[in-house]
Structure 1
Amino acid sequence: MADAVVQIFLERLLITLTEQTGYVNEFRDQFERLQSELQFMQSFLADADRLKRKRNSQTLRTFMAELRELIYEAEDILADCHLQSRDEDQLSNGWLTFLYPPNISFRYQTGKRLREINDKITYIKQNVASFLNVPLFTRTDTMDARNDQMSRWSCPVYDHTLVVGLEGDTRKIKDWLFEAEEGILAIGVVGMGGLGKTTIAQKVFNDREIENWFERRMWVSVSQTFTEEQIMRSMLRNLGDASAGDDRGELLRKINQYLLGKRYLIVMDDVWGEDLAWWRRIYEGLPKGKGSSIIITTRNGKVSQKMGVKKARMHFPKFLSEDDSWLLFRKIAFAATEGECQHPSLEGVGKEIVEKCKGLPLAIKAVGGMMLYKPPTYNEWRRTADNFRDELAENDDSVMASLQLSYDELPPYLKSCFLSFSVYPEDCVIRKEQLVYWWIGEGFVPQRNGRSSIEAGEDCFSGLTNRCLVEVVDKAYNKMISTCKIHDMVRDLVIRVAEEDAFSKPNGLNCRHLGVTSDVESKQLISNLKLRALMSTTKTAEVNNIASNLATKFSECRYLRVLDISRSIFELPLKGLLSQTGSLQHLSYLCLSNTHPLIHLPPSLKKLKNLQILDVSYCQNLKMLPSYVQSFIQLRALDVTHCGSLQYLPKGFGKLLNLEVLLGFRPARSSQPEGCRISELKNLTRLRKLGLQLTCGDEIEEDALVNLRELQFLSISCFDSHGSDLVAKIDELYPPEQLDELSLNFYPGKTSPVWLNPASLPMLRYLSVCSGNLSKMHDSFWGENNTVWKIEALLFESLSDLGIEWTRLQGVMPSLHIVNASWCPELDSFPIEDVGFRGGVWIKEEHSR
C-alpha cells in the first residue's frame, strides 16, 4: 500500500503547490523537499518485481509501514494548512485581525514537524535504496506510465455473467430438480474454493426453465458469522417480506405460510460449520412435497450430508479442461477483440499462464482480468508469467497466488480502492455509488486535466470489475452495474493486506477505515485521530441501531474525510449528533441516506467547506435544505431523491458550479421566491446526471436544460403531479442533444413528449419509460427522412395503455440489443421470451400480461 499512499499524497501536493495557498506558501521549501524525496521513493516502489522478491522481509515491511505513517501525517498537516489559510483569509479584514492574531503556535509546530518528517523520509529512502540495491541517483518518472492505465478499458468490456465449461453441471442439477416429488429434495454442490460452486448454483437458479418450474425461489448466502435469525430474515426478504420486529418463531411461521402449497427452491450458498442445529429447526418448519428442493453449496462434504443430501444427489464440480480453461481466459484477456488472440507471440505464454491456474475458474478469471490491462507485448506477458511462477513457489494455492499477483499488479490508486472492500462483512452486497463516493471523498481517485471526478471514480470501479476482483450482483436494463460483492477468497486476501497496512482491522482498533454496524464499539472510535472513513456497512434491508454514547464519538475523529451513517437509527436526537459533525472540517463525503428521523440540517454543518458529496436520499421527513448549501462550492454530487416532505430546494443552487450529479431536484414555483427555479440549472454546465421531480407546469421554464452540454443522464419523474398544463410545459423542456440516457417515470401525458425523437436526441442510447398514462408515441418519435435512433437498450414497465408494433419499433431502432418490457399488456406483438438473435437484435424480454 505504500506506493498507493505516496501517489495519492503526491498528486494532492502537486495541486496544492500550484494554488499558492497562504500557509502552504509559508512552508513551501519543506513541502517541495517532501515532494522531491517522495518522487525518488516512488521510483523505488514502482519496481514491482524487486519489491515482490522482498515482500516477506520484515526489514522492508518496517520501512514501508513507517513511510506510510509519515505520509499520512504529512497529508493531515497539508489539510490543516488549508483550513488555517481559509480561516485567516476570513479574518484578514479590519479589526478582526487584531482580535485574532496569526496562529504562531501552529506555525512553529507545523514547521518543526515537517522538518522531522522530511529527515525521517530521507533516512528511509537511503535505507530502502541500499536494501533494494538501487543507486540513489537513479530516478524515473513513473506517474505518467501508471496514469495511462486510467484510460485503458475504463468501462466494462465483457459479459460478467460469462460461464465456460459448466453446461453439463447445470444440466445435471436441473434434471434432478425436475425429478423431485415427495418431501424436499436436497442437492449438494461440493468442492474447493474457486471451483465454481456458486456459479453453478447461480446458473441453475436464474435459468428460465427453473424460474417457470418453481413458484417461489430463495437465495441465502450463509456467511461464517451468520445467525439463525439472519438466515430466516434473508429467506423472507426473498419472498418480499421485510420481517421487521419478528422473533424467530414468528419468522418461521411466516416462511411456512408463504411456501405452503407451493413448489419452491432454496439455495443455501457457502455453508461452512458442521453444527447444523439451526438448519434442522428451519427444515422442520418448511412445508414438504410438491417437488420442492434445496441446493447446498459447501467446501465440506460432511456438511451437505448432515443437511440431508444423499450421495446420489451430491455433485462434485470438476476442474475445467485445458480447452475450456483457455477459452475462459481468452474471453476475458482478449475481451476487446471479442476473445480472439490477435498476437501469435502471446498465445504460448498465455497458455503457460493458464496452465498454472490448474483449471480453477476463479484463478483463470483473475489472471485473465489482469492480462486485459497489460500491453500486448511478449516481454510484458513473459514478465507476468515469471511472476506467477514465483508466487506459486511461495504459495501452491493457484487461486490465492493469482489473486496476490493481481493485487500486486494493480496501479497504486486502485490498491486503495480495492482495500476498501475490507470493511464490509462477508457476503455483503454493496452499492456502486457508495464505493465511488467514498473513493472520491477520500482522494483515492486521480484528479487530472479537469476531468469529471464522478467519471474517474466510475472508471476505478470498472478497473476492479474488469480484473474480476469484484463480482457483479445487479445490473440495470442497460447493463450498468448497480451492486457488487467479492468472493470469499478475494475477501481473505483483502482483509490480510488491509490489516498489514493498517487500512482496516477486524477489531477496528487503531486503523484508518471502519465499517459502521450496530456492533461497533466506542473503544474503536475514542481518540482515534487516524480515522479517515466511517462507512455504514449494514447488509441490504437491515438497519443500524446506534447507541448515544457511540454516536457522540464520531465528532472526535477530527481528520475524518468520509462519514456514511446511512440506514441508521439513533437513540439520541439526530439533530444533536449532526451539530457536532460540523466540527469535522476535513469532511468531503457525508451520507445521511435513510436515517431516521432527519427533519432539518443544523446550522453547524455550514462549516463543512470541503464537502464534495452530500447524500440525504430516502429521508422522508426532511422538510427543507438550508440556504447555506449554496456555499458548498466544492460540491460534486447532491442526492435528495425520495424525500417526500421536501417541497423545493433553496434559491442559489446556480452558484454550485462544480456540481456533476444532482438527483431529486424539485424546482420552485413562481409563487415561491425563496426556492430555486429550474432556470438556475443553466449555470451548472458540469452536470452529468440530473434527476427532476416535476409536479406542475409552473415549475418549468423554457430552454432550462439546453446549456447543459456535459449532461449524459436525465431522469424526469412526475409522481404526484397535478394541473392540466404540465404535459405542455414538458414539451418545452428540450434536453441537450448529446444526452446518452433518458428515464421517464409517471409521465402524465397520453402521447410522448414532442422532443423524444431521433433528430432532437441523436446520441441517445438508453431509454426507459415506467408507469404513467402513456398510450402512444408522438409522430416525431418514428423519425423523418429515414432518421433512426441509436438506442441500444429499451425498458417499458407498468404501461397498461401503451401499444406499439414490434416490427415498426425494430425498423426505427436498428441498433437495439436489449428490450425489457413488463406489465405492458398492449405490447402483444412483442416477443414473450428470449428469442436470441433476430435480425441482429438480441431480445431479453420479461413480458407479463
Structure 2
Amino acid sequence: MADAAVGFVVEKLRDVIVQEAINLYGVRDEVEWLERELRRMQCFLKDADAKKNNGGIDGERVKNWVTEMRDLAFEAEDIIDTFMYYKLRRRESDGCIGFIERFTFIFDELVSRHKVHVQIERVKTKLLELSRSREVYGISNIGETIVTTSHPRSQNVIPILPQLRDDIDMVGFDDEKKKIVLELVDINNTNQSVISIVGMGGLGKTTLAKSVYNDLEVKRSFDIFVWVIISQQYTILEILKEILSETSPEDTIQTLSVKVFEKLKKGKYLVVLDDVWKADVWNELLKVFPDINNGSRVIITTRFANVAKIANPTTKPHELRCLDENESRELFLRKVFPNQNIETCCPTYLVDYAHQLVQRCGGLPLALVVLGGLVSTKPQTKDAWRKVVENMKGQFVEGGERCLEIIALSYNDLPYYLKSCFLYFGCFKEDMTISAETLIRLWLAEGFLPAKNIKTTEEIGLDCLEELAQRSLIQVTDRKYDDSANEFRIHDLLRDVCIREAKENRYFEVYNNNDNVDSMTMSNAARRLVVCNKIDILNYSNLMSRGLFYGVVGIINHLAFSALKGQLDRFKLLRVLCLYTSGISEFPSEIKSLIHLRYLELHILRLKEVPSWIGHLRNLQTFIVFPTVVYNISDSLWTIDNLRHVDLPCTKWVPPPNMGNNVPKNLQTLKGVNAGSWIKNTLPKLTNLCKLKIHRVCYYHADALSSSLQKLGRLVSFTIHYGQKIPLDNIITAFSNQHCLKDLYLDGSLSCEQLPHNDVFPQQLMKLDLLDSGLEQDPMATLEKLPYLKYLRLHRAYRGKQMICSATGFPQLLSLIIENLEELEEWQIQGKAMSCLKSLKIQECKRLKMIPEGLRNVLLDQLKLDYMFREFVSRTKENTGEDWYKIQHVPNISFI
C-alpha cells in the first residue's frame, strides 16, 4: 500500500508543478525536488513490500522502512495541501474584505511559505536517510508503469466474469444442488420448511443458492420469489423493506410486518436469506412467514451450524465441502482460460505451475477464482507463472485465512492506483450494492485516477472497475443498456482484506459504537474516517484527513448531526464529505471553510436553502443533496468552474436553477431540476452535458427545450419526469441528428396522439421508457425500426386495442416491459420479430386476452406475468393451459 500512497502523492506534486500553482511563492524548486525524489523512491517499494513479508529481523526492518516511506509521502502531501489551503483562502477573500483582514491573510501566507521551506527541508533529510537505509537492506528497483489493463481489450467486448455465471462458477456441487431442488419441489411436503446451506466463507454457499434459485424446475414450482442479503450489520426494518421492495417513509416494523405477511400468503413462496450470522434473524422473521400448507420454502445460507439448527432442528443442513483436486483444477482453469476446453486450454509447459497454484488454494472456491483472476492477467509464459508461484507463501493456514493470503497476493499485484481504488470498497456497508457512477466520482475527487490524454476520467474509472472485476476482486452485479458496468458488490472476505490493509496503512478507519475511545484519538489516525453508528461527539485527532463518511453506510437510519457540531471546520483538507444525517434543516455552516472539497453529498429530510457561500467551494466537482424539500438554491452554486455533477432531489419543491450569466461549462450531469426560463437562457450553453433530468416540463417549454437540446451534442441520457403535454415531436426532432443519445426517459402525457416517424428518432437509441404517454396509435410501428434499441418500457403509454410487432421488427431488443396498457386486447408478434428478446414482462393489461402466437418463436429466458386477470393466467397454466404451448420453451416463468 505504501507504493499507492507514494504514487498518489507523486502525481499530485506533478500536477501542482505543471499548473504552476506554487510558482509565485518561492517553493517551486523544493516541490520539484520532492516530486523527483519520491518518484525515484517509488521504484523500490514493490521490492520492499515483497521483502517485508519474509519475516525475521530483516523483514521487520524493511516493514518499518515501508511504513516510514508511506508516512513521509503523507507528510509531503499535507505540506502542499496546507499551503494551497492558505492560497485558496486568500483568493476567495480578495475584494470582499477590508484592508486589515486582507493584510492578516497576507501575513499568514508569508508565515505559511516559511513553514513550507522548513517542512520540506525536514522531509528532505528523512528522505535521504531512507535512501541510505534502502541500500543497507538490499531493496532493489522494480518500478511500475501506469496501465489500465494488463491485457488491453476492445472496448466493444464485455469481459468474461466467471464468478457471476452459475454455469461456470458452479463446480463440484451438482449432487448437493439436486438434493436441495428435490427438497424444494417435494409435493408431499406441504408444510413450510427451512433448508440450510452451511460452510465457511468463500466456500460457495451463495453460488449454490443462486444456482438453485434460478433452476428451471424451481422457478416453475413457486409463485413468489424473494432474495435478501442479511450480513452482520442488519436491522429487521431493512430486511422487511428488502422483502417488499416498495415501501413508504412512514412504514414502521409493525406496518411492514403486516405487508410482508399479506404479500407472502398470496401464493407459494421461496425466500432466500443469504449470509445469516445470528439465529435472532430467523426468530424474528419467522413471525412474518406464513405457513398455510402450500409447500412454501425458506433457504438460509450461513457460516454457523447453530443458526441452521435453530432454523430447522429436524433436518440436517447441507454442509459444503472443499473441492477435490480435479474440481479445483477445473474451476481455476475456467477462470484463467474462459470459454475454452478445460482439457486442452492449458499449455503443457504451464501444467506443473497450474498444479502448484491449485494445490495452494486448498479446494476453497473463492481462493481459486481470485487466484485464477490474477493469473489471467499474466502472460502465458513460464517466467510469469513461476513468479506467481514464488510470490505465494510456502505454508498457508486453514480455512478463510488461506483465502485471505491469496487475496492479499492478488491485491499486492495491483498497480498503485488500483490499490487505492480497490481499498475504497471497504468504506461501504457489507454486502452493499455500489454504483459505478458513485465510485468513479469518489476516485476522481481523491485524485486516484491516472490521466490519459485519449480518455476521459470517467472512461478511465470504468477501465479500473473492469480490471478489478477481471481479477475477481469485485463482482459486477448489473450492467447498463450499453453493457458498461453499472453496479458492483464485494465479497465479505475481500472486504475484510480491504479493512485490514486500510487499518495497517492508515488508508481509512471504520468506527463502530462498540469501538474503544483510543481508536478515535490515535495520533496516527487514518486519512479517511467512516462513522457507521451513533456517537456522542467526534473526537478525531487527524485533522489532515481527506475523507469523512458520516452515516453513509447507515442508509436507513441517519445519524444525528449533533456529534459533528463545531467539528467539521477543523478538517480543512477534506476532499470528500458524505453526510447521512438528521436533526438539521440548514446547510451545515462549518462546510464553508472546507475549500478543498471535491465531493459533497448531503442526505437530510428538509433543507431551507443551499446558501450563497457554496460558491466558495471552488474545487467542488460533485454536489449531491437529497432532502425532500429545498426552498432555495443560491445562484452562486453555478459559479463553480470545476463543477461536473449536480444531483438534486426529484420533487416539485426544488426551485428551477437561476444560473443567469454564470455557466458551469464543465458540467456533465444535471439531475433533479425543475423546468423554467433557464431552459431557454442557460441550457444551450451547457455544451458538455452528458446526463440531463428535468421535472415538470409543460407545453409552453416546447420551443425553448427543442432549440436548446439541439445544441447539446454530447448528451447521452435525457429524462423528463412528471411532464404535462410534453412536446414529443419537438423533442425527438431535436435529437434526430445526434449520435450520442442512447437513453431516453419520457414520463408524462404527450401533446400528440402518435409517435413521429422513426426516421426522426435518434438512431443510436438503446434504451427507451415511455410512461403515461396517452398514445392512441400503435407505437410499435415506429419503435420496431430503431436498429440498436435493446430495452423498451411502455407504461400507460398506449390506449389502443391492438398492437402489432411486424416480421423483422426490434432486431436488437433484449428486454420488453408492457405495463398498464388497459385498453389492449390483442397483441400480434409476426415472423421473426424480436429475435434477440430475452426478458418479457406483462403487467396489468386487464383486457389482453391471450399470449401472442408469435411468442413461440422467441427464445425467451424470462417471462413475468404480474397482476393479470385469472382468465389470462389460466391459459398459461403448465401443460393444461390453452396458451401453454406458446411459452413451454421459456425456462423462467413467474406470476404475481
Deviations 1:341-389 (A, max 9, x none): 5977556644543443344321222123223333444422332233235
Deviation at 1:45, TM superposition (A): 1.6
**Partners of 2:622 and 2:644 within 8 A in 1:** yes
- Measured on the aligned residues, the alpha-carbon RMSD in Å equals 3.9
Is residue 2:691 matched to residue 1:689?
yes
**SS state of the match for residue 69, structure 2?**
helix
8 A Cα contact 1:822 1:847, kept in partner:
no
Matches within 5 A, 1:200-599: 200-207=208-215, 209-211=217-219, 213-226=221-234, 230-231=235-236, 233-240=238-245, 242=247, 255-260=260-265, 262-273=267-278, 276=279, 279-280=282-283, 282-283=285-286, 286-288=289-291, 289-311=293-315, 313-320=316-323, 325-335=328-338, 341=345, 349-350=353-354, 352-388=356-392, 390=394, 392=396, 397-449=401-453, 451-476=455-480, 480-507=484-511, 509=520, 510-525=525-540, 527-536=541-550, 538=552, 542-566=556-580, 568-569=581-582, 571-575=583-587, 577=588, 579-592=589-602, 594-599=603-608
Equivalent residues of 2:52, 2:63 under 8 A apart: no
Number of the residue aligned with 1:717: 720
Is the contact between residue 650 and residue 695 of structure 2 (CA under 8 Å) also seen in structure 1?
no
2:164 matched to 1:161? yes
Q: Distance in 1 between matches of 2:737 and 2:631?
A: 31
1:606 aligns with one of 603, 615, 625: 615
* Equivalent of residue 106 in structure 1, options 112, 123, 136: 112
Query: Structure 2 unaligned runs (5+)?
Result: 512-518, 841-854, 869-896
**Is 2:141 aligned against 1:131?**
no
Residue among 63, 66, 89 paired with 2:65: 63
Return the match for 1:197 from 196, 205, 208: 205
Q: How far did 1:609 drift?
A: 0.7
Is this contact kept in 1: 2:151–2:377, CA < 8 A?
no
Kindly tell me the number of residue pairs found equivalent between the two proteins. Answer: 815
3-state SS of the aligned residue for 2:11?
helix
Helix, strand or coil for the counterpart of 1:737?
Answer: coil
1:462-488 Cα shifts (integer Å, max 9, x gaps) = 232232222344555665544433222
2:631 is paired with a residue whose SS is: coil
User: Paired residue for 1:628?
Assistant: 636
1:306: Cα distance to partner?
2.5
User: 1:752: how far off?
Assistant: 6.5
Which deviates more from structure 2 when the two are superposed, residues 738-747 or residues 470-479?
A: 470-479
The one-letter code of the counterpart of 1:27 is V
Which residues in structure 2 correspond to 1:14-93 (within 5 Å)? 14-22=14-22, 26-47=26-47, 50-51=50-51, 53-54=53-54, 57-88=59-90
Q: Which amino acid aligns with 1:814?
A: P
| Deviation at residue 656 of structure 1 after TM alignment | 1.7
**Matched-pair contact (CA < 8 Å) for 1:641–1:664:** yes
Distance change (3 Å), C-alpha of 1:199 and 1:114: same
* Aligned residue type for 1:719: Y
Q: 1:600 to 1:609 in 2, by over 3 A?
A: same
Deviation digits for residues 683-722 of structure 1 (CA, Å, limit 9, x no counterpart): 44433333344512333344433444443x2222141424
Inter-partner Cα distance in structure 1 for 2:480 and 2:204: 25
Contact 2:213–2:219 (CA under 8 A) maintained in structure 1: yes
Q: Check the 8 A contact 1:667/1:693 in 2, yes or no.
A: yes
Q: CA, structure 1 residues 119+607, in 2 after alignment: closer, same or farther (shift >3 Å)?
A: same
What is the rounded CA distance, in whole Å, between the counterparts of 1:501 and 1:376 in structure 2? 33
Deviation (angstroms), 1:627: 1.0
Cα 1:122/1:356, change in 2 over 3 Å:
same
Residue equivalent to 1:184: 192
Any conservation in 2 of the 1:794–1:820 contact (CA below 8 Å)?
A: yes
Distance 1:450 1:123, change over 3 A: farther
Distance, in Å, in 1 between the alignment partners of 2:233 and 2:861 is: 41
Cα distance in 2 for residues equivalent to 1:247 and 1:692:
32
Distance 1:608 1:458 in 2: 27
Correspondence 1:732-747 to 2 at 5 A: 732-734=733-735, 737-739=738-740, 741-747=742-748
User: What is the distance in 2 between the residues matched to 1:55 and 1:705?
Assistant: 63
CA–CA distance in 2 between the matches of 1:505 and 1:755? 57
Q: How far apart are the structure 2 equivalents of 1:148 and 1:266?
A: 39
Q: Give the match for residue 673 of structure 1.
A: none
Question: What's the offset of the Cα at 1:540?
Answer: 7.5
- Taking the TM superposition and a 5 Å limit, the aligned residue runs for 1:658-697 are 658-669=666-677, 676-678=678-680, 680-693=682-695, 695-697=697-699
Partner of residue 814, structure 1: 811
Structure 1 residues not aligned, in runs of 5+: 670-675
Deviates more, 1:362-371 or 1:548-557: 548-557
Judging changes above 3 Å, is the alpha-carbon distance between structure 1 residues 384 and 599 closer, same or farther for their aligned structure 2 residues? Answer: same
- Asked if the contact 2:654/2:673 (under 8 Å) is kept, the reply is no
**In the alignment, residue 589 of structure 1 is paired with which amino acid?**
Y
Are the counterparts in 1 of residues 709 and 734 from structure 2 also a CA contact under 8 Å? yes
CA–CA distance in structure 1, aligned partners of residues 274 and 142 of structure 2: 49
- Give the whole-Å Cα distance in 1 for the aligned partners of 2:392 and 2:661: 53
Bigger drift between 635-644 and 254-263 goes to: 254-263
CA drift of 1:611 comes to 0.4
- What is the Cα deviation at residue 612 of structure 1? 0.8
Task: Report how far residue 79 of structure 1 moved.
Answer: 2.4
TM-score (normalised: structure 2) = 0.81
Shift of 1:597: 0.9
Code of the residue aligned with 2:739 in structure 1: it is Q
- Is the partner of 1:600 in helix, strand or coil? strand
Query: Shift of the alpha carbon at 1:583?
Result: 0.9
Retained in 2: the 8 A contact 1:612–1:637? yes
**1:637 corresponds to:** 645
The answer to whether structure 1 residue 729 and structure 2 residue 730 are counterparts is yes
Counterpart of 1:672 in structure 2 is none
Alpha-carbon spacing, 1:703–1:256, altered in 2? closer, same or farther (3 Å): closer
Aligned mates of 2:123, 2:543 — CA distance in 1 = 18
Q: Is the 8 A contact 1:477 1:794 kept in 2?
A: no
Q: What is the distance in 2 between the residues matched to 1:428 and 1:734? A: 37
Q: Name the residue aligned to 2:127.
A: 121
Quick one: distance in 2 between partners of 1:129 and 1:755?
Answer: 74
TM-score normalised per structure 1:
0.85
* Cα separation, 1, equivalents of 2:331 and 2:604: 44
Q: Does the 8 Å CA contact 1:515/1:535 hold for their aligned counterparts?
A: yes
Cα distance in 1 for partners of 2:562, 2:333 equals 54
The answer as to whether partners of 2:194 and 2:298 remain within 8 angstroms in 1 is yes
